[in-house]
Structure 1
Amino acid sequence: MTPVSLYSPDPARGWLPWAWLAPILMVFFNAVPVLALDGWMQSQHWSTPHGDPIGLAGLYALLWIGFAPTLVAVLAWVRFVEGRSLASIGLTGPTPLITFLRGLAVGCGTIALVVVAIWITGGMQAAGLGQALRSPESLLHIGLLLLSFIFQASVEEIIFRGWMLSVMARKTNVAAAVLLVSFVFCFLHFSPHQPPLVTLNTFLFSLFACAWALRTGSIWGVMGWHTGWNWVLATGFELPVTGMNAHLPALLVALRPQGADALTGGAQGPEGSYLCSVFFVAAIAWIQWRKTRGAQGFSPTSR
């Protein structure tokens, strides 16, 4: 395979970083804001010394304040250093809003599928039905969290599957770009002492997101999918999303994990379950199968 322009043939009118430098820049763009804001976030009682959010206020702060500087830094780099268009990092396509909303629906459905699979195999026990529907305040926060996850998930897709994947593909090839993006994604989501299954699923998450973006030729759909996945997991079942709790009653069904962590996901939530691994492997295989067959589009978000 040879270097390619993934999303748009628009040329880079500035300087593209060397292949070895792009992962370092990604870590830099993410780490500097965290280090700069850590003390202030703790002083506001929004995060613990380990960087975990405290309550709903801490979660909002993480999703907005924690991700905004990285987005600004990456977009500034793309514009002023690389001289590239937004289309060249995947923000392209004729109907971005419809594509995003379709991806959102798929994201809500796929994480619900994973959770229900864990439930029916004995890893969850129901503890209440739609309790958030009886609380206007909870519904307000669930709506605000949707907006917050739209921002957070979109930032992650723009910087990983948008900027880094596209610049690595131009400097190396698509296969190397996908692997390097997924390794860096794993590194930046890694926590000491986390189970190996959590690390594997983080890697598979990125592989799936890369496969989706490559198959559709833009990142609008996968931005929506990532949003729906995080939002329903955080608000639908009173379960952790990436180890974090929203501290809200369930919008759908309150579920309580029971049994082995390998099935339930433990403190990580369903994203740490082997059934989540099964989903990602099957979904990636399906995308590749559709690609091999030369099918036109792969999902409701296809162009």
Structure 2
Amino acid sequence: MKENIFKKYIIGFIIGAIFMSFCVLTATLLGGFKINTIETSHTGIKTLIPILCMLVGFIIQGGTEEVISRGWVLPVVGAKYNVPFGIIISTLFFTLLHGMNPGMKLMPIVNLILFSIFAVLYVIHSKDIWGICGFHSAWNWFQANIFGIKVSGTNMPGGSLFSFHSVGEFELISGGVFGIEGTIICSGIFLIGIAYLSYKITKNLKCNFNKQD
């Protein structure tokens, strides 16, 4: 059982790392982000120990947000009323947690909602929160301490392996003050994730229904 939990967490962590890396690479290729090639005291391999310390922090932070939003609010509200209402309330709760973050505009709000829907579907598909805990922690850690990008508009401590920053005036690609999470690139990858998980959940439901017949 413990091995299964660890496996689910690692798979979620890897998926989160891939998703974030894809978003940063795409935004850079489209001209919304640029890498700073001048190494500073807060970037590069010399910051490895602080970066690893931040990983521990993000494991706690990401896991805590998921336990509260998807591990508590979702099942409690869903059991008392219904699953769709539980999804709506947990999504609103998660979005409001970030409501006061710097650079909060329409696109960041849209992406917070999309992420929350994606997270809910991930939990429903995997039947527990371990995978999405890993995803959430990797998403934030890679964003802050691997690529050096603001997390939901907030600069994080600990340094970073690389240093990417928003450029240009087209905020749909650069994310502006909010960072990569305010781009249509994140919208796109979460929509793909939502579509895939919806398909898998629907397919599993049909298979279970057919078995009952």
Change (3 A) 1:150 1:134: closer
Task: State the partner residue of 2:84.
Answer: 175
Task: State the partner residue of 1:77.
Answer: none
Task: State the partner residue of 1:213.
Answer: 123
Equivalent residue letter for 1:200: V
Map 1:36-115; keep pairs closer than 5 Å.
Answer: 95-115=4-24
2:164 is the counterpart of 1:243: no
Deviation, 1:281, is: 1.1
For the Cα contact (< 8 Å) 2:122–2:197, is it kept in 1? yes
- Structure 1 stretches lacking a partner, 5+ long: 1-91, 296-303
Report Cα offsets for 1:162-199 as digits up to 9, x if no partner. 01111111111111110111012112211287211111
Change (3 A) 1:278 1:130: farther
Would you tell me which structure has more helix in proportion to its own residues? 2
SS in 2 for 1:240: coil
Change (3 A) 1:290 1:228: same
- Structure 2 stretches lacking a partner, 5+ long: 206-213
Larger RCO (alpha carbons 8 Å, 6+ apart): 2
Change (3 A) 1:110 1:129: farther
Give the alignment partner of residue 97 of structure 2, picking from 188, 192, 195.
188
SS in 1 for 2:165: strand
Map 1:21-36; keep pairs closer than 5 Å.
Answer: none
Task: State the partner residue of 1:262.
Answer: 172
Equivalent residue letter for 2:25: V
TM-score (norm 2): 0.87
For this pair of structures, how many residues does the alignment match? Answer: 202
Change (3 A) 1:165 1:291: same
Task: State the partner residue of 1:141.
Answer: 50
Equivalent residue letter for 1:123: G
Larger Rg: 1
Deviation, 1:292, is: 2.2
* Cα RMSD after superposing both structures: 2.2
TM-score (norm 1): 0.62
Deviation, 1:126, is: 2.2
